[in-house]
Structure 1
Amino acid sequence: MKTILNTKYVKKLLFSLFLSGMTLGFAQEAETAESTPKFKLSGSIDAYYRANLNSANSGANYSAPGSSFANLPGFALGMANVIASYEGEKVGFVGDLVFGPRGTDAIFASPMYSLTGNIVNQLYVYWNVSDHVTLTFGNFNTFLGYEVISPVANFNYSTSYLFSYGPFSHTGLKADFDLGSDWSLMLAVMNPTDLTEFNPNGKYAYGAQLGYSGQFLNFLADDGAFEIDYTGGFDLSESFYLGINAAYFDGADDTGFAGVALYPQYQTSENFTIGLRGEYFAETENFGAIGTGVADSSVLALTLTGSATIGDLIIKPELRLDSASDDAFLDSDGQPMDNLASFVVAAVYGF
């Protein structure tokens, strides 16, 4: 009888060890899977059709808003954006390449040295020093402003004046700090703004960002010029969102700009959202952003955009009215006028 009891005990012990080994093996596999670096390929492709409603759509009298991107007549190309990233437990990289008119406009200061410098949108490595500190080294898109270069991440397809005349990209070293309780801090030292391939003059720009619960106060100082920028937004209900961007730029040559943009967006269904960008933008002296050639010009730009999703495809029809304080556009007969009405429909595929 004793022998039988011992046999049962041995069987139970072996079975328990077997289950423990399986559990340990699964846990090790899961831990290994979580810690294994992950390679990812993502990006976007976009194209659009644009037409003026009160101006010529070709030739010398053709007009477009003074903001970046989506300014070409008829059927036009945006860009192909291909992003390769490698994410490890502590370190990783991002290589972000752009091809096409939108990409060329975004990397306007390149090539400075390399013949292929104008296709590099971002190129950086990062190190998660701890759970609360990340260092990023290389070329990265700016931390200022509400809008970005990628058409996938913007609600409106055309861009604001604030985005167009703030910085696009930086090359340097930045440190991000998670301060806890929804607070964050970023500090950066960088080449002069938008000079991303190398430093041609030995001068440096300095940046800082203080964040709290999705609201960000940004600061950039660059060779006597500086910019202060607020970017944020609020979910006013499950369907209604309000984004906000305000900025003030003071150039070293006594020119600059200031402006504010509001982005109310209402989701009418799972696949459709409608939104308005209302922006007021004013330049000091003859900054030249609006294109009037008159000092201290300003513009009120209203952009109504619909966003319909079909799987990974986004269709964006858009009506835009730019009304300037002085003549900034031409009518069909080539006569100066102070306002421009235009229509855009864009197709954006993100992968």
Structure 2
Amino acid sequence: MNMITYSNFGKKLMALTLLIFTSTAILAQEEETDETKPKFTFGGSVDAYFKTNLSSSDAEAASPGSSFAESTGFALGMANIIASYEGAKTGAVADLAFGPRGLQAVGGDAGIFVNQLYAYWNVSEATTLTLGRFNTYLGYEVISPTANFNYSTSYLFSYGPFSHVGLKADFALSDDFSLMLAVMNVTDENFSQFQGVPGAYSVGAQLGYAGQYLNFYYDGNAKLGFEIDYTGGFDLSDSFFLGINAAYQDNDGLGFYGAALYPQYAASDSFTIGLRGEYFQEMGAYNAIGFGDTVEDESVLAVTLTGSYSIENFTIKPEIRIDNASDDLPSFLDNDGVASKSLSSFLVAAIYAF
């Protein structure tokens, strides 16, 4: 990856940060509203699962290259603890994550368990400023299993950003249109110094219209590079929903592009069945597919069928996943430990939200 000098870039971003802050403050309107009592809330989730490979032994190496749910046998997900305080115009959120999924989500640092930690100011009814660490605005899926339909995650999610540290401004332009602008550290970094380079920053933006979002990220090829992402979905009927995600990421010729569809059918109030069909194409030797991906420009078609049965706050998710790569040199393993271009697996996850 190319490294660049950030002094001028950092100064420009700081100037942009100041411009965002001052302009939103000037636009703030002190409107008369009913006084609201500050509210404290506490919640979170826990999850665990059992997984076995159908076309391979349960060796750790025989697993899709996407994040989370990669262990076989009985395994832990994460314990997520979220505390929030909401006042009339300001508030704060502390979101802590523990366990294997949590550590992966916060960058694998065993000493940092902060998933999200931010304070916000509702400058006006149409403008909110947020400062701290917040989960990414890119992509269809998120870190918490309570907010995803499928338990395992997509390649598009796994190789995009997880979280950001910085300042963002959200604007409600109308009933349908929204805009977000952000100045941040490079993705998934708590500090601006990255790989010994001080002042490594990124910029982000999101344009939303009626539940459809076009997202942008750029860090000057410091870490992720550039990503453009579309995330949305449509209620095709009262019981049928279609989610859509497409993304393109490039860091000086190294990256990926792809798309995923998420059809989901609600058979009853307690049971829903859904499919994730994803095509993921690497650019260059991105090495994202399987345990031994050394092939340039490899692609994978991954199909995941998930059922979701809920009892009060408890959800059971059985799931079958099939990953089929374009090359077997090697991507996965078969039952004899021989390189294979495909892998099928089954898991059942238990998730409790409180």
Q: More deviation in 222-231 or 78-87?
A: 222-231
Aligned 8 A contact 1:51 1:344 in 2? yes
CA distance in structure 2 between the partners assigned to 1:123 and 1:276 by the alignment: 33
Aligned pairs for 1:84-123 (under 5 A) are 84-108=83-107, 110=109, 117-123=111-117
- Cα deviations by residue, 1:264-290 (Å, 9 ceiling, x for unpaired): 000000100000000000001101111
Deviation at 1:332, TM superposition (A): 2.4
Residue in 2 that maps onto 1:20: none
Query: Which residue of the other structure, out of 115, 130, 133, is the alignment partner of 2:127?
Result: 133
Q: In the superposition, relative to structure 1, how do residues 35 and 73 fare at CA in structure 2: closer, same or farther (>3 Å)? A: same
- Aligned counterpart, 2:204: 207
Partner of 1:289: 288
1:219 is displaced (CA, Å) by 0.3
Change (3 A) 1:32 1:192: closer
Deviation of 1:196 (Å): 1.9
The answer to whether the 8 Å contact 1:169/1:196 transfers is no
2:19 alignment counterpart: none
Match of 1:48? 49
Q: 1:77 & 1:38 partners in 2: Cα distance?
A: 32
SS of equivalent to 1:186: strand
Q: CA 1:85–1:33 in 2, change beyond 3 Å: closer, same or farther?
A: farther
> 2:240 and 2:126 mapped to 1: Cα distance?
32
Separation in structure 2 between the aligned mates of residue 232 and residue 87 of structure 1, nearest angstrom: 28
1:11 alignment counterpart: none
Kept after mapping to 2: 8 A contact 1:110/1:196: no
Cα deviation, 1:170-206, whole Å, max 9, x if unaligned, reads 0000000000131000000000111124534212100
* TM-aligned CA distance change 1:288 to 1:128, over 3 Å: same
1:129 aligns to what SS in structure 2? strand
Larger relative helix fraction: 1
In 2, Cα distance between equivalents of 1:125 and 1:197: 17
**What is the deviation of 1:58?**
3.5
TM normalised by structure 2 equals 0.86
Match of 1:35, SS state, is: coil
Q: 5+ residue gaps in structure 2?
A: 1-31
- Does residue 330 of the first structure (1) align with residue 339 of the second (2)? no
| Correspondence for 2:58 | 57
Shift of 1:247: 0.2
CA contact (8 A) 1:109 1:194 kept: no
Displacement after TM superposition at 1:109 (Å): 5.5
SS of the counterpart of 1:104? helix
Post-superposition Cα deviations, 1:209-264, rounded to whole Å, max 9, x if no partner, equal 00000000000001232100000000000000000000000113x21100000000
Equivalent residue number for residue 213 of structure 2: 216
Q: Is the 8 A contact 2:117 2:133 kept in 1?
A: yes
RMSD: 1.6
Match of 2:103, SS state, is helix
Is 2:262 the counterpart of 1:263?
yes
Quick check: 1:251 aligned with 2:251? Answer: yes
Deviation at residue 330 of structure 1 after TM alignment: 1.1
Q: 2:351 is paired with a residue of what secondary structure? A: strand
Query: Gaps (5+ residues) in structure 1?
Result: 1-30, 112-116
SS of alignment partner, residue 157 of structure 1: coil
Aligned length: 313
> In the TM superposition, what are the counterparts of 1:4-43 in structure 2 within 5 Å?
35-43=36-44
Equivalents in 1 of 2:113, 2:266: separation in Å? 35
Q: 1:321 and 1:332 mapped to 2: Cα distance? A: 15
